[in-house]
């Protein structure tokens, strides 16, 4: 699965995780050039992220699709690249808890139990994840209930 994600990053979105200029746990050598070289070394010369064409094809911030659920952890560094405003056909949820990162909706909470002292939200990770998962199921159930077999005329 990771290789598929990296192909999408290398060929479409180029959303590389690079080290900030100051106070980073990431090496400063993990920069844009490093990521582009990684793409070239893994997928070959012809694979290069074309963000403009990806945005043109999928509609950019006006996504040319429907029935998509967007979930983001409150501590997910990629949440800013996701759809933030919820709509009926494309709901967006933020899992609000102290340790909810990228993919928490799918992976759950490996740090259980976890609560930061003084956290006024009084929210534990499993509760926050389960609330959003139930909302996702409701959306999918609704969309599937709207599906019907096309009428055939012979």
* 23-76 residue pLDDT tens: 777 788 889 999 999 999 999 988 889 989 988 998 888 888 899 999 888 877
Give the three-state DSSP class for 51: helix
Q: Supply the pLDDT for residue 13.
A: 86
Helix residue ranges, H only, the chain: 2-8, 32-43, 51-58, 104-107, 125-145
Rounded distance between C-alpha atoms, residue 57 and residue 60, angstroms: 8
Q: Would you state the structure tokens that stand for residue 31, as one six-digit string?
A: 């920069």
Q: Supply the pLDDT for residue 141.
A: 94
As a whole number, the mean pLDDT across the chain is: 81
Rounded distance between C-alpha atoms, residue 60 and residue 63, angstroms: 6
pLDDT at 10 over 50: yes
* 130-139 residue pLDDT tens: 888 999 999 9
Neighbours of 105 (CB within 10 A): 21
Q: Please, which residues bridge with residue 92 across strands?
A: 70
The domain locations on the chain are 2-56, 65-145
Q: Comparing C-alpha atoms, which of 125, 88, 92 is closest to residue 109?
A: 125
Mean pLDDT of 6-28: 84
3-state secondary structure 23-45: CCCCCCCCCHHHHHHHHHHHHCC
Rounded distance between C-alpha atoms, residue 16 and residue 125, angstroms: 27
pLDDT-wise least confident of 13-22, 48-57, 119-128: 119-128
pTM of the predicted structure, to 2 decimals = 0.66
77 DSSP 8-state letter: T
């Amino acid at each position: 699965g990771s290789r598929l994600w990296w192909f999408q990053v290398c060929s479409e979105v180029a959303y590389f995780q690079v080290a900030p200029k100051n106070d980073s746990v990431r090496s400063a050598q993990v920069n844009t050039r490093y990521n582009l070289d990684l793409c070239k070394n893994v997928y070959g010369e012809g694979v290069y992220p074309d963000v403009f064409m990806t945005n043109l094809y999928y509609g950019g911030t006006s996504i040319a699709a429907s029935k998509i659920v967007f979930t983001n952890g409150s501590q997910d560094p990629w949440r800013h690249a996701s759809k933030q405003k919820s709509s009926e056909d494309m709901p967006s949820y933020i899992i609000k808890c102290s340790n909810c990162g990228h993919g928490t909706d799918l992976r759950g909470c490996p740090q259980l139990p976890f609560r930061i002292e003084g956290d006024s939200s009084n929210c534990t990770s499993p509760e926050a994840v389960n609330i959003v998962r139930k909302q996702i199921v409701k959306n999918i159930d609704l969309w599937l209930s709207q599906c019907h077999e096309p009428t055939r005329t012979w």
